[in-house]
């Protein structure tokens, strides 16, 4: 019986051809990878954004365009690659001059910043839905979700928890104003992804929450982790405002911050420190890779978390 996204994936993997010569990575990572030559590959990702799960009515069209593309670019960043080409299939209910222009301006902000080329697309009339496809290339190594080694440091870029906190604090106008930019306009970590690509052992972007995404990294790497909650970097408003339970929810279950979570050998600490300075972005050690089992520790005390993963079809 097909009841959720995982069942669809399992059905596809059992019944449909998902591998062939030159397909280095198929379904199951942030991007698919096609080998072009010994050192050159293409990475490809597609994501759809919808009113409801991905953006709400209080997003401006500019923010909708920006975020839809940012989340796709984040998948390329998580593979340690450089985004290059872009296709978009959009469905919009009606053509409003102001909406269209603002929407494409949001997209264009990222196209300009990352020197992308929009090479194709399709436009239809119907319920708002935006699908991007981004094609990137590797500079050095490609990062996958698997590859973590025992005793690796576990890092996150930037600060996390703000996207969920924005939702939790949406009625507090002042706090929401500070936090909503993290929810509406996340920064895809392209430069850092490229810079760590030859020193990180595995990488994912935190779209489904640290707990679920770290779980994916560790289960694909067949490893465990000790996570030090007190070290997880967040915005001071998140720390000061939320109750203990909501704070943990924002930090660990939140997602949608689109920061990178990766692991790297202890010997790379200095290199990563300089990258953090170079890109003016915190890159923080939040844990250690262990043999098995993921443990969350708060100043040395083990915390029992009761987390649900996100599934579009769960009730």
Nearest distance from C-beta of residue 308 to its own copies, angstroms: 16
Cβ proximity to its own copies, 74 vs 281, nearer residue: 74
Nearest distance from C-beta of residue 187 to its own copies, angstroms: 20
Cβ proximity to its own copies, 114 vs 180, nearer residue: 114
Cβ proximity to its own copies, 118 vs 185, nearer residue: 118
Cβ proximity to its own copies, 115 vs 174, nearer residue: 115
Cβ proximity to its own copies, 10 vs 150, nearer residue: 10
Nearest distance from C-beta of residue 162 to its own copies, angstroms: 24
Nearest distance from C-beta of residue 124 to its own copies, angstroms: 5
Cβ proximity to its own copies, 36 vs 277, nearer residue: 36
Residues that bind its own copies (CB under 8 A): 1-5, 7-8, 11-12, 15-20, 23, 25-27, 31-32, 34, 36, 42, 44-48, 50, 52-53, 84-85, 87-91, 94-95, 97, 100-101, 104, 107-108, 111-112, 115-127, 129, 131, 133, 135, 312-313
Nearest distance from C-beta of residue 152 to its own copies, angstroms: 27
Residue with tokens 């996570």: 227
Nearest distance from C-beta of residue 168 to its own copies, angstroms: 22
């Amino acid at each position: 019986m097909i009841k959720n996204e995982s069942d669809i994936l399992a059905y596809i993997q059992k019944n449909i051809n998902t591998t062939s010569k030159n397909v280095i990575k198929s379904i199951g990572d942030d991007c698919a990878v096609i080998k072009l030559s010994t050192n050159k590959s293409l990475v490809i990702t597609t994501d759809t954004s919808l009113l409801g799960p991905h953006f709400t009515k209080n997003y401006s069209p500019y923010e909708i365009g920006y975020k839809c593309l940012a989340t796709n670019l984040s998948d390329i960043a998580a593979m340690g690659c450089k985004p290059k080409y872009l296709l978009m299939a959009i469905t919009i209910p009606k053509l409003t001059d102001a909406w269209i222009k603002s929407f494409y301006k949001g997209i264009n902000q990222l196209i300009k910043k990352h020197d992308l080329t929009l090479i194709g697309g399709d436009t239809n009339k119907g319920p708002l839905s935006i699908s991007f496809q981004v094609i990137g290339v590797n500079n050095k190594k490609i990062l996958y979700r698997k590859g973590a080694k025992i005793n690796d440091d576990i890092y996150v870029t930037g600060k996390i928890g703000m996207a969920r906190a924005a939702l939790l604090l949406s009625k507090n106008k002042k706090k929401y104003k500070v936090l909503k930019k993290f929810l509406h306009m996340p920064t895809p970590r392209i430069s850092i992804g490229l810079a760590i690509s030859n020193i990180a052992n595995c990488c994912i972007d935190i779209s489904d929450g640290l707990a679920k995404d770290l779980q994916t990294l560790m289960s694909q790497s067949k490893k465990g982790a000790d996570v030090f909650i007190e070290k997880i970097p967040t915005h001071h408003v998140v720390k000061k405002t939320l109750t203990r339970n909501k704070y943990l929810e924002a930090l660990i279950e939140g997602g949608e911050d689109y920061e990178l979570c990766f692991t790297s050998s202890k010997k790379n600490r200095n290199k990563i420190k300089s990258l953090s300075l170079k890109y003016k972005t915190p890159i923080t050690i939040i844990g250690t890779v262990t043999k098995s089992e993921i443990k969350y520790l708060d100043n040395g005390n083990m915390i029992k978390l009761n987390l649900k993963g996100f599934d579009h079809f769960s009730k």
